[in-house]
C-alpha cells in the first residue's frame, strides 16, 4: 500500500488490540529530504502537512503543494495551499441551505439520467440544530423545555422532515435534533475524535464549520475554523479549501491562575495582547507549562474568543 503513495509515506502500525493500521507518516518527508527537521514546524502546520500528505493525488493536492507546506518558515513569502479538512460541522441557519443544495444536485442527476444515490457528502457532515428553539413557555413551568421543543417541531415541521430525509438518504450525514446543546458544545463533547480511521487510514481530526465560533474546538487540539457556506459545501463534495500558508504566532503560557481570576479574565487579556501584536490571517499556537494547568473548558474559552 505504501508503494502507491507519491512520497511512499503510508506506513503501518500495530494497535493495542493487535490489529494493523495505516497512517501518513510525516517522518517519510524527513527521510526523503523534503523536510530538514520536523521539530522546526509548528504543530498547526504539521496538521496541514499531514492532511496534504495523506490526500496527495497529483490532482487536488500535488507533490508541490506538500513541499510548499513542508518548507514553511517564519520569513516565507505568501503562497497558496490546499487544505482538505476531515469533516464539516454545520448549524441549522447556515447548514440547511447546504443540504438543500445537495438535494438539488440529486434532482439534477435525475434530469441527466444518472443515479441520484451517487450524490453524497464525501466527508462526514454533522448538522446541529441549535438556533431554532424559542421560549414560548417560561421556565416557571416544570415541563417548559419539553413544551417549547414540541412547539418548535410543530412550527418547523417541514424543515425537520427534510433533515430526516437527509439523514436517512445521504451517506456521511447526521442531524443532531434541537435541545441537545449548542453546536460548539456538541462538537467538543460528542463529535470530535482527535484522531479517527477513514478508509483504512488513521488521520488527525480537523474541520471547518459554518459559524465563526467553530474555533472553540481548537481547545481540544483539533484544528478548525469558520468558513462561508460555499467553502463548506466544497469540502462536503470532496474539494479542498485554498488558503495562504499562514504565519504562526506562538503564545507561551506559564504558571497558574490566581484565586479569583477566571478563564474569561485570562482570555480577555490574551485577546488584548494578540490584537496589539496583529494576528489577522495567522494561526496562534499556545505552548508552555501553563497549558497543563488549564482545564479543557478553560482552553475552549480561549479558543472561542
Q: At what angle do helices 229-236 and 92-111 cross, to 10 degrees?
A: 50
Q: Is residue 121 located within the same domain as residue 177?
A: yes
Q: Is residue 237 located within the same domain as residue 95?
A: yes
Residue 198 located in a structural domain:
no
Q: Is residue 159 located within the same domain as residue 253?
A: no
Number of domains forming the structure of the chain: 3
- The grid coordinates listed for 116 are 441520484
Residue 152 located in a structural domain:
yes
Q: Is residue 133 located within the same domain as residue 263?
A: no
CATH number of the domain where residue 181 is located: 3.30.499.10
Local structure of residue 22 (DSSP, 8 states): E
Q: Is residue 59 located within the same domain as residue 110?
A: no
The CA distances from residue 43 to 204, 223, 243, in Å, are: 12, 10, 18
Q: Is residue 75 located within the same domain as residue 94?
A: no
Residue 300 located in a structural domain:
yes
Q: Is residue 95 located within the same domain as residue 185?
A: yes
Q: Is residue 176 located within the same domain as residue 134?
A: yes
Conformation bin of residue 245: beta by default, left when phi > 0, alpha when psi is -120 to 50: beta
Measured between alpha carbons, how far is 61 from 66 in angstroms, rounded to an integer? 8
Residue 199 located in a structural domain:
no
The H or E element spanning position 24 is: strand 20-24
Which of 79, 108, 131 is the endpoint of a domain?
A: 79
Question: How many other β-carbons are positioned within 10 Å of the β-carbon of residue 272?
Answer: 10
Residue 258 located in a structural domain:
yes
Q: Is residue 38 located within the same domain as residue 100?
A: no
The H or E element spanning position 226 is: strand 223-226
Residue 120 located in a structural domain:
yes
The counts of H helices and E strands in the chain are: 10, 13
Q: Is residue 234 located within the same domain as residue 252?
A: no
Grid cell 447546504 in the structure block, residue:
98
pLDDT in tens, the chain (305 residues): 444 678 888 999 988 888 889 999 999 999 999 998 999 999 999 999 999 999 999 999 999 999 999 999 998 888 999 999 999 999 988 899 999 999 999 999 999 999 999 999 999 999 999 877 778 888 788 888 888 888 888 888 999 999 999 999 999 999 999 888 899 999 999 999 999 998 889 999 999 999 889 999 999 999 999 999 999 999 999 999 999 999 999 999 999 999 999 999 999 999 999 999 999 999 999 999 999 999 999 999 999 98
Residue 165 located in a structural domain:
yes
Per the document, the length of the chain is: 305
Q: Which residues contact 238 (CB under 8 A, 6 or more apart)?
A: 60, 122, 123
CB 49 within 8 A of CB 66: yes
**Could you list the residue range(s) of the whole structural domain that residue 50 is in?**
2-79
CATH number of the domain where residue 271 is located: 3.40.1060.10
**Burial of 273 (C-beta count, 10 Å sphere; 0-12/13-18/19+):** exposed
Grid cell 440529486 in the structure block, residue:
106
Measured between alpha carbons, how far is 238 from 20 in angstroms, rounded to an integer? 27
DSSP symbols for 68-80: HHHT--TTPPP-E
Q: Is residue 120 located within the same domain as residue 52?
A: no
Measured between alpha carbons, how far is 26 from 7 in angstroms, rounded to an integer? 10
Residue 137 located in a structural domain:
yes
Measured between alpha carbons, how far is 191 from 189 in angstroms, rounded to an integer? 6
Q: Is residue 148 located within the same domain as residue 290?
A: no
Local structure of residue 188 (DSSP, 8 states): I
pTM of the model: 0.91
Amino acid at each position: 500500500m505504501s508503494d502507491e503513495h507519491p512520497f511512499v509515506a503510508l506506513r503501518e502500525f500495530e494497535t493495542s488490540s493487535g490489529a494493523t493500521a495505516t497512517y501518513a507518516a510525516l517522518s517519510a518527508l524527513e527521510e526523503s529530504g523534503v523536510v530538514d527537521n520536523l521539530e522546526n514546524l509548528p504543530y498547526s502546520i504539521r496538521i496541514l502537512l499531514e492532511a496534504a500528505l495523506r490526500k496527495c493525488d497529483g490532482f487536488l493536492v500535488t507533490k508541490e503543494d506538500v513541499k510548499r507546506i513542508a518548507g514553511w518558515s517564519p520569513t516565507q513569502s505568501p503562497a497558496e495551499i490546499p487544505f482538505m479538512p476531515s469533516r464539516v460541522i454545520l448549524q441549522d441557519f447556515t447548514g440547511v441551505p447546504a443540504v438543500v443544495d445537495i438535494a438539488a444536485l440529486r434532482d439534477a442527476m435525475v434530469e441527466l439520467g444518472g443515479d441520484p444515490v451517487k450524490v453524497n457528502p464525501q466527508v462526514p457532515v454533522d448538522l446541529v440544530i441549535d438556533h431554532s428553539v424559542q421560549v414560548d413557555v417560561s421556565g416557571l413551568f416544570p415541563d417548559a423545555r419539553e413544551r417549547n421543543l414540541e412547539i418548535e417541531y410543530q412550527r418547523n415541521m417541514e424543515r425537520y422532515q427534510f433533515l430526516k430525509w437527509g439523514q436517512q438518504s445521504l451517506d456521511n450525514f447526521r442531524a443532531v435534533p434541537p435541545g441537545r446543546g449548542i453546536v460548539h458544545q456538541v462538537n467538543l463533547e460528542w463529535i470530535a475524535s482527535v484522531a479517527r480511521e477513514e478508509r483504512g487510514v488513521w488521520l488527525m481530526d480537523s474541520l471547518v464549520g459554518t459559524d465563526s465560533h467553530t474555533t472553540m474546538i481548537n481547545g481540544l487540539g483539533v484544528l478548525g475554523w469558520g468558513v462561508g457556506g460555499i467553502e463548506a459545501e466544497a469540502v462536503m463534495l470532496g474539494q479542498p479549501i485554498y488558503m495562504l500558508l499562514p504565519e504562526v504566532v506562538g503564545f507561551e503560557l506559564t504558571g497558574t491562575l490566581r484565586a479569583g481570576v477566571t478563564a474569561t479574565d485570562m482570555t480577555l487579556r490574551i485577546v488584548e495582547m494578540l490584537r496589539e501584536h496583529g494576528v489577522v490571517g495567522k494561526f496562534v499556537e499556545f505552548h508552555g507549562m501553563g497549558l497543563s494547568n488549564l482545564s479543557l473548558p478553560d482552553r475552549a474559552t480561549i479558543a472561542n474568543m
